């Protein structure tokens, strides 16, 4: 991080300041030397270990439990969605049973002769029989339980002829019909076949009416299934969207409260992904996997129970495929996990390389490295392509295997079940229903590959999200809220970003209220780190920082920072109205105060030239403004807040000479009566400072006024001569 930062700062300063000076060759030499290691990292071996956020768990109990906590406020909606889901599952299971009834009871002849009437009393079959006036007894076979029907078949208690009961007798065919005890007439199926179509329709009018009723029931059930599926889907999506909303709010709130050190270690793209892609992956799991896994479980259990009741033999035949499915699924899990990890690793590698290349685009263009980057990118892109093809192969193999096993199962059921239908051991309607239930049984398994991928992505995303949320937030101090006067004091302060490299070493100085302190030194000396310590952005390890003689950690940091202003060299402009970039949505800063602040820093003139003035809409990072205009805008922003302590970090380094002169005039007026700390490479801007300190390698090496430091002829003196020579040459 420090290497890249130093490289960037060196490039930014020297290219900007020495392009037309006699030091140009030296500047490019410095760039080359300082960035040598970065170039090696960027274009050499590119491991990207820190970017490879890869995990392969299909189910992580801890991640799932923490995810579901976000859904707790919506328990009622979840219960409602679950209720709708159960209803749709029951309807789904009921439809083949209704089809079976239509076939067995009304489409196919349902009555056969019972040749052995002793079973009527034995099994209490009186409700299932009708007696004919010729002495025969008919029984409605589909109404019998599977066990009784099988036993009667084994005992040869059924006759071979099949009968249909009807209210109507066809004139001229009276000998076909036999009066039954229930007032209807029985007619054999083989006799019906010789009748005309209108006569058959007349005889089967009651069956047709019953089929219409069952068809109407099916339509109603399908409509209810659609309705409850819609309600379940809408309710579940509503909960999912609320969970996404809450999760993104929690992530964003947490991000805004993390210390700056965390952002130094983590790329912006990665953090943005947490609140966007990763949350979307969690949402997809909630809406497409979890609730549907429950539905699949209900359907599978219900289907197996019904199939067992219909025919145990065929059910066991279907279940014999289960071990094969289990083996295939286990192999698939291993293969897809490895493929998933590889894709994630290659994607992370590609993203990291692309991000670094874009960040270092200046270096790439300066050293004509476009072809090197392109060739490297081609290699990483090819590796990602190969990994995706490997994953695609795994998924493309799984479903055809399941389809093949399903087809084999259906073929076996038709073969064996069809034989049982022929032997009267199974009704035709039961066979049709059985085939429908096989589809229901295999459908969740066929969708397993997609759900597995979604679940694995969600577990990985959840793991990363909660890793972020587990990061400790920035300490906000002990809560002291008071109006400050502006005294700043460092007492033997030591600061390090890691445990080894100190960036500030034994720093001590005092800035009294209303005084101006200037800080100079080469890039990487620790100037910006010193400013970061004043604002509490980074915790110092030794010494003490006092504001108005009170330790920094005693304050409420948010309240303290509201009384401090900061103008950075690299000005950040938010997209939106120009005046909002000055007020930063602070309702206490009215338009009059905005205009006054802009006038004080000579920004009012260029703002008035804009088409919509202070209401001008600015694009991302204020791209429509020049560097100098953005700098002036940041000055107006700082002054509008009227800070007690004002910090200018490289504040005039990117401004042209005319604008710099305007700012210098404004600064003299603005800094009067407030504590100010100025960091600048242009030493001409700090001649009038009450005190100047020179920092080198994290230590204060010189301290005094401009005149006294010139007299010492030390580092400050040589820096001043260097800039004087540059000014003369330019």
- Structure confidence at residue 27 (pLDDT): 33
Contacts 24+ apart (CB under 8 A), 409-417: 409/317, 409/318, 409/321, 409/438, 409/442, 410/435, 410/438, 412/317, 413/314, 413/317, 413/318, 413/438, 416/313, 416/314, 416/317, 417/311, 417/314
- Distances from the Cα of 669 to the Cα of 234, 236, 564, 635, 685, angstroms: 62, 61, 18, 13, 14
Return all residues near 148 (Cβ < 8 A) that are at least 6 apart: 123, 125
Q: In what order do the strands lie in the sheet with 675-679?
A: 564-567, 645-649, 675-679, 516-520, 691-696, 699-704
Return all residues near 46 (Cβ < 8 A) that are at least 6 apart: 349, 352, 353, 376, 380
* CATH code given to domain 485-563+682-730: 3.40.50.300
DSSP string spanning 33-93? HHTHHHHHHHHS----GGG------S--HHHHHHHHHTTGGGHHHHHHHHHHHHHHHHHHH
- Distances from the Cα of 434 to the Cα of 89, 316, 401, 520, 675, angstroms: 17, 12, 21, 85, 86
pTM over 0.95: no
Which residue is it, tokens 């504590």? 675
Return all residues near 502 (Cβ < 8 A) that are at least 6 apart: 494, 495, 496, 698
12-16, 166-170, 430-434: the lowest-pLDDT one: 12-16
- Structure confidence at residue 393 (pLDDT): 86
For the chain, the average pLDDT equals 83
Mean pLDDT of 318-333: 81
Element (H, E) at 221: helix 205-256
Mean pLDDT of 206-210: 91
Mean pLDDT of 591-609: 86
Mean pLDDT of 324-344: 80
52-61, 482-491, 693-702: the lowest-pLDDT one: 52-61
Q: Measure the CA angle with vertex 158, ends 437 and 434; round to 5°.
A: 5
- β-bridge mates for residue 166, sequence order: 185
- Structure confidence at residue 650 (pLDDT): 63
Q: Is 661's pLDDT higher than 90?
A: no
Coil vs helix vs strand at 308: helix
Top pLDDT among 589 and 665 is at 589
- Structure confidence at residue 293 (pLDDT): 84
Q: Is 667's pLDDT higher than 80?
A: no
Mean pLDDT of 478-488: 91
Sorting pLDDT into bands at 50, 70 and 90, what band is 58?
low
Q: Are 356 and 350 in contact (CB under 8 A)?
A: no
Residues 209-252: tens digit of each pLDDT: 999 999 999 999 999 999 999 999 999 999 999 999 999 999 99
270-274, 350-354, 413-417, 667-671: the lowest-pLDDT one: 667-671
- Dihedral (CA of 664, 667, 669, 675) sign: negative
Element (H, E) at 671: helix 657-671
Residues 547-561: tens digit of each pLDDT: 999 999 999 998 999
Q: Is 28's pLDDT higher than 70?
A: no
- H, E, C per residue of 341-391: HHHHHHHHHHHHHHHHHHHCHHHHHHCCCHHHHHHHHHHHHHHHHHHHHHH
- Structure confidence at residue 35 (pLDDT): 37
Mean pLDDT of 493-506: 88
Q: Measure the CA angle with vertex 480, ends 476 and 486; round to 5°.
A: 100
- Distances from the Cα of 697 to the Cα of 27, 417, 523, 694, 700, angstroms: 20, 87, 9, 10, 9
Sorting pLDDT into bands at 50, 70 and 90, what band is 653?
low
- Structure confidence at residue 683 (pLDDT): 80
Sorting pLDDT into bands at 50, 70 and 90, what band is 492?
very high
* Beta-strand relationship, 691-696 and 516-520: parallel
- Structure confidence at residue 574 (pLDDT): 85
Mean pLDDT of 453-468: 87
Token digits for 298?
A: 């209900």
Q: Are 307 and 317 in contact (CB under 8 A)?
A: no
Distance CA 125, CA 157 (A): 13
Sorting pLDDT into bands at 50, 70 and 90, what band is 442?
confident
- β-bridge mates for residue 649, sequence order: 679
- Distances from the Cα of 355 to the Cα of 43, 44, 51, 266, 387, angstroms: 13, 16, 11, 12, 21
Top pLDDT among 727 and 414 is at 414
- Structure confidence at residue 669 (pLDDT): 66
Max mean pLDDT among 285-294, 325-334, 426-435, 681-690 falls in 426-435
Distance CA 161, CA 174 (A): 19
Sorting pLDDT into bands at 50, 70 and 90, what band is 44?
very low
Mean pLDDT of 515-520: 92
Distance CA 616, CA 606 (A): 12
What is the location of CATH 3.40.50.300 in the chain?
485-563+682-730
Q: Is 25's pLDDT higher than 60?
A: no
Sorting pLDDT into bands at 50, 70 and 90, what band is 37?
very low
- Structure confidence at residue 342 (pLDDT): 85
Sorting pLDDT into bands at 50, 70 and 90, what band is 150?
confident
- Structure confidence at residue 654 (pLDDT): 56
Distance CA 514, CA 645 (A): 9
Q: Is 32's pLDDT higher than 80?
A: no
Distance CA 129, CA 135 (A): 12
Token digits for 278?
A: 């990763």
- Distances from the Cα of 203 to the Cα of 172, 173, 355, angstroms: 14, 12, 80
- Structure confidence at residue 560 (pLDDT): 92
Radius of gyration of the CA atoms of the chain, in A: 41
Top pLDDT among 141 and 395 is at 141
Tell me the CA end-to-end span of the chain in Å, nearest whole number: 34
């Amino acid at each position: 991080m420090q290497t890249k930062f130093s490289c960037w700062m060196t490039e930014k300063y020297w290219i900007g300041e020495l392009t037309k000076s006699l030091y140009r060759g030296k500047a490019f030499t410095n760039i080359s030397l300082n960035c040598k290691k970065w170039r090696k990292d960027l274009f050499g071996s590119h491991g990207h270990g820190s970017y490879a956020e890869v995990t392969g768990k299909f189910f992580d109990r801890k991640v799932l439990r923490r995810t579901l906590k976000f859904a707790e406020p919506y328990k009622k909606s979840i219960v409602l969605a679950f209720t709708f889901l159960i209803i749709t599952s029951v309807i789904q299971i009921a439809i083949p049973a209704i089809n079976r009834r239509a076939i067995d009871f009304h489409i196919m002849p349902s009555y056969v002769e019972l040749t052995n009437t002793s079973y009527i009393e034995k099994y209490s079959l009186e409700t299932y029989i009708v007696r004919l006036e010729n002495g025969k007894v008919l029984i409605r076979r589909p109404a019998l339980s599977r066990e009784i029907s099988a036993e009667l078949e084994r005992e040869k208690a059924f006759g071979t002829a099949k009968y249909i009961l009807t209210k109507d007798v066809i004139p001229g065919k009276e000998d076909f019909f036999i009066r039954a005890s229930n007032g209807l007439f029985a007619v054999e199926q083989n006799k019906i076949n010789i009748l005309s179509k209108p006569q058959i329709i007349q005889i089967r009018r009651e069956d047709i009416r019953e089929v219409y009723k069952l068809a109407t029931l099916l339509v109603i059930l399908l409509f209810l299934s659609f309705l409850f599926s819609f309600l379940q889907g809408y309710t579940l999506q509503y909960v999912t969207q609320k969970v996404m909303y809450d999760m993104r709010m929690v992530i964003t709130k947490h991000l805004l409260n993390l210390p700056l050190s965390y952002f130094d270690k983590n790329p912006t793209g990665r953090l943005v992904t947490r609140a966007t892609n990763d949350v979307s992956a969690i949402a997809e799991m909630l809406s497409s996997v979890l609730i549907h896994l429950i539905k699949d479980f209900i359907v599978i259990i219900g289907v197996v129970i019904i199939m067992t009741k219909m025919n145990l033999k065929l059910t066991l035949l279907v279940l014999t495929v289960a071990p094969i499915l289990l083996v295939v699924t286990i192999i698939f899990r291993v293969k897809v996990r490895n493929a998933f990890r590889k894709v994630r690793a290659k994607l992370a590698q590609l993203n990291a390389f692309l991000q670094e290349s874009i960040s270092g685009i200046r270096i790439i263009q300066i050293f004509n490295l476009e072809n090197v980057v392109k060739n490297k990118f081609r290699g990483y892109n090819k590796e990602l392509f190969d990994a995706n093809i490997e994953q695609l192969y795994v998924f493309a193999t799984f479903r055809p295997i399941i389809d093949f096993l399903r087809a084999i199962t259906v073929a076996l059921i038709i073969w064996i079940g069809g034989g049982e239908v022929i032997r009267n051991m199974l009704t035709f309607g039961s066979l049709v229903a059985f085939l429908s239930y096989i589809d229901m049984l295999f459908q969740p398994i066929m969708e397993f590959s997609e759900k597995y991928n979604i679940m694995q992505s969600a577990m990985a995303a959840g793991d990363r999200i909660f890793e972020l949320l587990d990061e400790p937030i920035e300490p906000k101090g002990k809560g002291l809220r008071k109006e400050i006067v502006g005294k700043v004091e460092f007492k033997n302060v030591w600061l390090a970003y890691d445990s080894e490299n100190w960036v500030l070493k034994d720093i001590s100085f005092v800035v009294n209220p209303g005084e101006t302190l200037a800080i100079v030194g080469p890039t990487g000396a620790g100037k910006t780190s010193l400013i970061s310590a004043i604002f509490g952005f980074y915790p110092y390890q030794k010494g003490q920082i006092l504001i108005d003689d009170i330790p920094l950690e005693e304050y409420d940091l948010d309240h303290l920072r509201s009384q401090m202003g900061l103008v950075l060299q690299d000005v950040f402009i938010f997209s939106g109205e120009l005046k909002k970039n000055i007020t930063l949505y602070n309702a206490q800063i009215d338009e009059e105060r905005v205009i006054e602040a802009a006038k004080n820093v000579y920004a009012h003139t260029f703002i008035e030239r804009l088409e919509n003035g202070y209401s001008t809409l600015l694009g991302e990072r204020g791209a429509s403004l020049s560097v100098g205009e953005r700098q002036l805008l940041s000055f107006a922003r700082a002054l509008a807040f009227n800070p007690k302590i004002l910090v200018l970090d490289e504040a005039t380094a990117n401004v042209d000479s005319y604008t710099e002169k305007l700012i210098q005039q404004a600064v003299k007026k603005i800094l009067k009566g407030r504590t100010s700390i100025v960091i600048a490479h242009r030493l001409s801007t700090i001649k009038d400072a009450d005190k100047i300190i020179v920092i080198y390698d994290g230590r204060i090496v010189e301290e005094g006024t401009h005149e006294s430091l010139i007299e010492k002829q030390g580092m400050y003196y040589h820096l001043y001569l260097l800039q004087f020579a540059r000014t003369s040459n330019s």
